[in-house]
Amino acid sequence: MHLPSLGVHHDGSPLYVSNVAPALGETLTLRLRTHRDHQPETVVLRTVRDGEPHVAVAHPQTPDGVDVWWVATIVVRNIETHYRWLVVGGAHDFTWLTAGGLVDFDVPDASDFVVTATEAPPRWTHDAVVYQVFPDRFARTLADDDALAVPPTGVQLPAWAVPRAWSDAPEGRSPNTPHEYFGGDLDGVRRHLDHIAALGASVLYLTPVFPAESTHRYDASAFDVVDPLLGGDAALRELVEAAHSDDIRVIGDITLNHCGREHVWFVRAQDPDAPEREFFRFDPTLTHGYECWFNVPTLPKFDHTSPLLRDALVSSDEAPVRTWLRGTSGLDGWRVDVANMAGRMGSIDVTHEFAKDVRVAMAHERDDALLLAEHGHDASGDLLGDGWHGTMNYAGFTRQVWCWLRSPDFHETFLGLPVEVPMITGEQAVASLRAFHARIPWRSLVTSWNVLSSHDTARIRSVVGSHERQVAALALAVGLPGVPMVFAGDEIGATGLWGEDSRTPFPWNDQDTWDQDTLTAYRELLHVRRGSPALALGGLRWLHVSTDAVAFVREHPDESVLVVVARSQAQTVRVPLADLNARTIHHLFGFTAEVVADQAVIDVPSAGAGVWRVEGV
């Protein structure tokens, strides 16, 4: 059985690990926190070194308030160091603490804590807030809202494009879905950087900007130019330079798993003697005669066993992975589309090797570039090495938040499953979050993006059904380990029941439709996140978990922050200040609290959230 913590805690954050990005050969100090009223007799740290278990006896330090810290040191010998704690005596007969929690029986090593001796993610990601823009739907610079979209001067409208007015809604599930052209462009994004900055975002993530046969542009016909419909190379350069001057970094989106059927490489590959032939897998027994993503013929899949492909796509001086990061107007990193599939095809699995190659190639251009993987399910197996820095955390964040906060009136399918989004309790949501957190190294977890909704999903407002529950969802994105990501429009309460239904043009000229209360909440919460070392890097301890409310504290050597989130009017939440080593708390957002008899007492009036800085630690 899983046991209550009784004050026993460890995670991968700086309070417990002396260096979250150690070098090989470095001596690492690890700390275990225990409650003074539940002291064990013996604490042992078990590590795995060169494939063999090793143990070190931990020693207690002088009590710190209600806490006693047990300390052990290890030498980092391997790229991955896996470890767990054994706690014996007192309230614990024979208890293991792994990243999965306390158990009184032996469990496999899969949920052990892990620290990796590889280059750390860029430091600027620590306090990042990401704002996602789908360029065709964010802002246009030509034509009024009621006029059909027109291409930039001198650019011919492609045959595939179906012009739409900005005031139109996407058709949704229709043959025109990938071809509806609303006319948003990169200059439009540049003109609204003030909105992004005022929101508190520090990273602009653009979905693909390369030319393609669709407005989603995941079917690139080239990787070496920006789509003229978006303004071309000059527009991207001007946008990045303007963003950088506002201290906003810009992340691009690239498909390293596939390209479009019209891509020059695939066109050349039709010749059996062309060098590009080995970029793809041709097989007459396949439905379309070649391997493609999800059997979609317009998306031929790359064969990553080809050295020529690796060179052209990733490693050479002219490879797109490198060239678009180059110079002062270069991108600050990549979000990789369907990264979980790149390098995987039948009996072939070179994803880890490929991800490492991408990271090495990016480092040739800049040593602080971010490499972020799209991953729709458990990404833990792809985040242990020196490849992807983190993931869009659909599996270990989005699913739990949707299921706990879902409106009874939301009846759409559940992120790839042909069933409605289930409704779960707070206890189930936290258990699921802890299970996923247990499998990811801490530094990968805090670099991964906490996604409430994106261009591929329903919008969070439609999922949860109200302003109050949307604020609760945002508080979880801000409060839990990870980088909060906002899909453009969520901050004004935009709705959408599925991916294309959510890709609505941003109503810049119709601000009467904006939910100003939601916009205010986003600005306040995201600015709290930007200024908080605890919310960026701090450890996580759950303090209260019930059906309708949860409370947790994020703890960092420089600061601690208390977060309470509720999905409805719930019972009063009481947090003993002694458990936080605190004298009082300082209100930052939302719910109010009263300190009564050394307890923080939060009477939850409705769905929503409260955030406080813990004082006197």
Contacts 24+ apart (CB under 8 A), 100-109: 100/434, 100/435, 100/438, 101/2, 101/3, 101/5, 101/434, 101/438, 102/2, 102/3, 102/4, 102/5, 102/6, 102/8, 103/1, 103/2, 103/3, 104/1, 104/3, 109/48, 109/82, 109/84
Residues 35 and 65 in one domain: yes
Residue with tokens 């610079």: 141
Sign of CA dihedral 344, 349, 350, 352: positive
Residue 582, domain CATH: 2.60.40.1180
Residue identified by tokens 């001057």 is 245
- Return the CATH number at 398: 3.20.20.80
Contact 250, 243 (CB under 8 A): yes
Please give the model's pTM, rounded to 2 decimal places: 0.97
> 529 and 548 share a domain?
no
Which helix or strand (DSSP H or E) is residue 307 part of? helix 307-310
Q: Are residue 32 and residue 103 in the same domain, yes or no?
A: yes
**In sequence order, what are the residues at sequence separation of 6 or more whose Cβ sits closer than 8 angstroms to the Cβ of residue 153?**
none
Would you call 537 helix, strand, or coil by DSSP?
helix
Report yes or no on 121 lying in a domain.
no
CA–CA separation, 133 vs 253, rounded Å? 11
Query: Does 220 score more than 70 pLDDT?
Result: yes
pLDDT digits (tens, 9 = 90+) for 559-578: 999 999 999 987 899 999 98
The answer to whether residue 467 sits within a structural domain is yes
How would you label 601-615 residue by residue, b for 16+ Cβ within 10 Å and e otherwise?
Answer: ebebebbbbbbbbbe
Q: pLDDT of 587-602, one tens digit each?
A: 999 999 999 989 999 9
608 domain-assigned? yes
Residues 517 and 402 in one domain: yes
Closest CA to 505 of 143, 64, 71, 166: 166
Question: How does pLDDT run across 418-472, given as a tens digit for each residue?
Answer: 999 999 999 999 999 999 999 999 999 999 999 999 999 999 999 999 999 999 9
- Taking only Cα atoms into account, the Rg of the chain, rounded to an integer number of angstroms, comes to 25
- 295, part of any domain: no
Last residue of one domain, picked from the residues 506, 534, 562: 534
Q: What is the pLDDT of residue 1?
A: 39
Within a domain: residue 288? no
- pLDDT mean across residues, the chain: 95
Distance of alpha carbon 356 from the chain centroid: 19
Mean pLDDT of the region 343-351 = 96
Q: In the chain, what's the furthest Cα-to-Cα distance?
A: 81
Give the start-end residues of each E strand in 482-607: 483-487, 539-545, 549-556, 559-566, 573-576, 584-590, 594-596, 599-602
Q: To which residue do tokens 């004082």 refer?
A: 615
- Count of structural domains within the chain: 3
Tell which of 466, 499, 534 closes a domain. 534
Task: Tell whether 456 is covered by a domain.
Answer: yes
pLDDT more than 70, % of the chain: 99
Domain holding 570, by residue range, is 539-615
Q: What's the residue count for the chain?
A: 617
Q: In the chain, what percentage of residues exceed pLDDT 90?
A: 91
Q: Which of 88, 116, 144 is the last residue of a domain?
A: 116
The CATH number assigned to the domain holding 102 equals 2.60.40.10
Do 438 and 486 lie in one domain? The reply is yes
pLDDT at 7: 84
With vertex at residue 499, the alpha carbon angle to CA 494 and CA 505, rounded to the nearest 5 degrees, is: 45
pLDDT of residue 250: 98
Tally DSSP H helices, then E strands, for the chain. Answer: 16, 31
Q: Flag whether pLDDT at 2 surpasses 70.
A: no
Domain shared by 168 and 45, yes or no:
no
Instruction: For residues 51 and 166, state if they share a domain.
Output: no
Q: Are residues 364 and 483 in the same domain?
A: yes
Residues 101 and 171 in one domain: no
CA 485 – CA 73 distance, rounded (Å): 36
| Residue 6 confidence (pLDDT) above 70 | no
What are the tens digits of pLDDT across the range 67-105? 999 999 999 999 999 999 999 987 778 899 999 999 999
| 186 vs 503: CA distance, rounded Å | 16
Question: Tokens standing for 613?
Answer: 């800085």
Q: Are residues 477 and 514 in the same domain?
A: yes
Residues 530/129, Cβ–Cβ less than 8 Å: yes
What is the per-residue pLDDT across 358-399, written as a single tens digit (0 to 9) for each?
A: 999 999 999 999 999 999 889 999 998 789 999 999 999 999
pLDDT band for position 579 (50/70/90)?
confident
Same domain, 325 and 394: yes
Question: Measured in Å, how far apart are the chain's first and last C-alpha atoms?
Answer: 33
Domain membership of residue 195 (yes or no) is yes
pLDDT for 66: 84
pLDDT at 539 over 70: yes
- Does pLDDT of 5 surpass 90? no
Burial zone of 41 (CB within 10 Å; 0-12 exposed, 13-18 middle, 19+ buried): exposed
508 strand-pairing partners: none
**Looking at the structure, do residues 454 and 592 belong to the same domain, yes or no?**
no
Residue 124 counted as domain residue: no
Inter-residue contact 178 to 504 (CB < 8 Å): no
